[in-house]
Structure 1
Amino acid sequence: MKFHIFVGLLCVLPLGYASAAALERSGQSVHALFEKGNYAEVALLHVDTNISGQVQHQQNIAELGVQDFSTGNLVNNQHFIQAALKLQPHPQISVALLFDQPYFVDVDYHYSPILSGEPLPIENADIKFDSRNITALIGYQPTQHWNLVSWSL
């Protein structure tokens, strides 16, 4: 009886981690673990952004003689990588490694209009944040229609 309770707890306890995984926004899928045989995939994404606008307090800046209120491009180009590698050493056992960059931002903003031939630094912001995530999955398939999966972050 104690053995069955222990096995039941081992199956239920990892569910607490499943709700925390919902915080990731990259959309990294675990479908690689369910592919037949050995499997590998790589996804590369290049984001060519152009986010711009106008600066605040234009009246105060105009008093200095500045006429250009454009912020220019606020966000740099971004590269995003996802990869999955699945090995199946036994028909019922699978092992997968997933690589992911769930969060990233690269903002480079400098508003320095030229006044009397000299750049006048008014507003600056440099923000760069990059994260990487590697997930290891182990799957056991007791029957054709059931997969039991355990993972480690």
Structure 2
Amino acid sequence: MNASRNLLRTLQDLITLGPKTEKFNRIFDGIRVVASRKPGHIQCELDIDEKHLNRNDTLHGGMLTSLTDSVSTLALETNERKPSKSASVELSVSFLKAAKKGETLVIDAETVKLGRTLAFLSVEFRNKQNNELLATGKHTKFLS
């Protein structure tokens, strides 16, 4: 249990570093690491705020795409065999339903397959209030 708590704290520290920079990762301000049920898995939450919205006042698709990239990479980091470096080679997101300001997004990311040179990752985005599936993502990373 203590090792699990340390892992969650380390993952939260990784996410918390983003908003303290002037670089792109500052958009992840407010993400909370909730769980890592097994190696290769992570669950996070994000309260959708004004800064996450598009001009239609719904969660911006680019935000979901960036979350697919970043949160699935964190899931990859929870594997017992961690790559020293990785780079995205393919990423896709299917948008199923819009999310609005004030809703809480639950992000579940897991390692589907960890090969020698490629990792295959998947992400589900759900509305915490009603568990409705909002989007799914797939991410392939080259490992070195």
Q: TM-score, normalised by structure 2?
A: 0.29
Normalising by structure 1, we get a TM-score of 0.27
Larger radius of gyration: 1
- Higher relative CO (Cα under 8 Å, sequence separation at least 6) belongs to 2
